[in-house]
Amino acid sequence: MAVRDDSGITPIFRAQHQAATAGKVPAPVRVSTDDGELWVRAVPMPGAGVMNSVLSTVHLGDRGVTVVDPGWAGGKAQDAAGNVLRPLDDFLRERGRRLEDVTDVVVTHAHPDHVGGAAEMLRATGARYHLGTVEQRTVDAARTGRSQDDYAVDRHAIGAPDGVLDKYPFPLAKKGLPPFIPRQRPDATVEDGDLLTDHGVTAELGWRAVLTPGHTPGHLCFADDRRKLLVAADHVLPEIFPGIGLGVASLGGNPVKDYLAGLDRLAEFDDYTVIPGHGYCFTGLAARRRETREHVMERAGEVSRVLEWNPEISVWRLAGRLTWSGGWESLADSPMVWSAIRQTMMYRDLVLEGA
C-alpha cells in the first residue's frame, strides 16, 4: 500500500497521497480499527497544493465521537446549501453515527483552518471544547490586546523608509477576539504531557499532548503511544515547510528557536505514523525532521552571510537581501510585510546567539 517518496518519507495511503499532491481533496482514510475507528478526513479550504485542505481526525468510539481540528468553516467546506456541518454529518451517517454523537472537539492550535469549524460544531452538538493552555493564553492576549512581544516592530529602529509601513496596520496590534475563535472558553485546557482521557475525552483515545511551540506559541501535537500515531498538526508537514511565529498573539521568546527545539523533541516519535495538518499520512519522521531543520538553517545561513558582510545592516535592508518567494519588492508592499520583518528579526537573533 505504501509508496516511497523521494524526500525520504513514505506515504501510507496511495490514494490520499495522489490526491493531495495533485491538488485534489483526498477522500477520508481509516487509520486504525483498534478500539473504535480512527479516520482522517480532509476538509477543503482556500489554498493550493497540499494547502487545499486541512486534515481533521475523527475517532468513532463506543461512548462518543471525538474530532481533533474541526477544520475550515465556509467556502468549499460547506455543502451546496451553505451548511458547514452537513459534510461531517454525512460522513458520520455513512458510518452509523450522526453529528449529535460528537462529544469532544479538540484543537491543536488557534488558526482558522484548524479551529474555524469549532464554533458551529460546538453549538450544534454541545460537545466539550479542548484547547491547549498556552494557546488559550494567546487567545486571551489577543482579546485584551496584551501581547507580550519581543518582536514588536518599531519602524524607525528597523530602518524602514518613511511612510512605507503606514499602509498596513501591524496585525498583532489589533485588539479583540479573532472572528474564527469560538466565543466560549474551552471546557478544559490541555497542558503539555496531559492525557486527553484526563480531560474526559473517551477512554479509548489515550492521546498525550506534546507542546511544540513555534508555528504558534501553544501548538500541540498528540501522541498515541499504543497505536504509534502522532497527530503532528502544523509542526511537521510533508511537501511544504510550516510558517513560524504565526500566533494570534505573541507570548515572548523567539519562535524560531522554539520551533527547532520542538523538532528535536519529536525524535521520540520517529517510528510513529504521522498525521499532519495538511497533505497525507506518512512514516519517516526522522527524515522529515532533518529536512525541515535544514530548511530553517538555510534561512539562518542566508541571514548570517549578510551579517558577516555588514553587521550593522538595518532589519529593513537585511530583509530586502533575503530570498522570498514572490520577491521582496511585492512582499514589501503587502500586508505580509510585517510577518517578513518579524521573521527576519527572529532569524537575526538566532544567528547572533550562535545557533
The footprint of Zn ion (CB under 5 A) covers 113, 234, 277
Least distance to Zn ion, CB of residue 69, Å: 8
CB neighbour list of residue 315: distance below 8 Å, 6 or more residues apart: 157, 158, 159, 341, 344, 345, 348
Least distance to Zn ion, CB of residue 239, Å: 13
Least distance to Zn ion, CB of residue 224, Å: 20
- Residue among 158 and 230 whose Cβ is closer to Zn ion: 230
- Residue among 235 and 342 whose Cβ is closer to Zn ion: 235
- Residue among 43 and 134 whose Cβ is closer to Zn ion: 43
How many of the other CB atoms lie within 10 Å of CB of 333?
12
Least distance to Zn ion, CB of residue 166, Å: 30
- Residue among 14 and 295 whose Cβ is closer to Zn ion: 295
CA 309 to chain centroid = 35
Q: Which residues of 188-198 are buried (b: 16+ CB within 10 A; e: fewer)?
A: bbbebebbbee
Least distance to Zn ion, CB of residue 56, Å: 11
Least distance to Zn ion, CB of residue 161, Å: 34
DSSP label of 25? P
Please, which residues bridge with residue 11 across strands?
282
- What is the distance between the alpha carbons of residues 82 and 296, in angstroms, rounded to a whole number? 40
Sheet (strand 208-211) strand order: 10-11, 282-283, 273-276, 229-233, 220-224, 208-211
Contact call for residues 154 and 47 (beta carbons, < 8 A) = no
- Residue among 36 and 242 whose Cβ is closer to Zn ion: 242
Q: Nine-digit cell at 23?
A: 491538488
Instruction: Report helix angle 285-309 to 337-352, nearest 10.
Output: 90
- Residue among 89 and 258 whose Cβ is closer to Zn ion: 258
Least distance to Zn ion, CB of residue 266, Å: 17
SS3 271: coil
- What is the distance between the alpha carbons of residues 93 and 96, in angstroms, rounded to a whole number? 5
- Residue among 13 and 72 whose Cβ is closer to Zn ion: 72
Least distance to Zn ion, CB of residue 72, Å: 9
- Residue among 107 and 350 whose Cβ is closer to Zn ion: 107
- Which residue pairs from 318-324 have beta carbons closer than 8 angstroms and sit at least 24 positions apart in sequence? 318/344, 318/348, 319/344
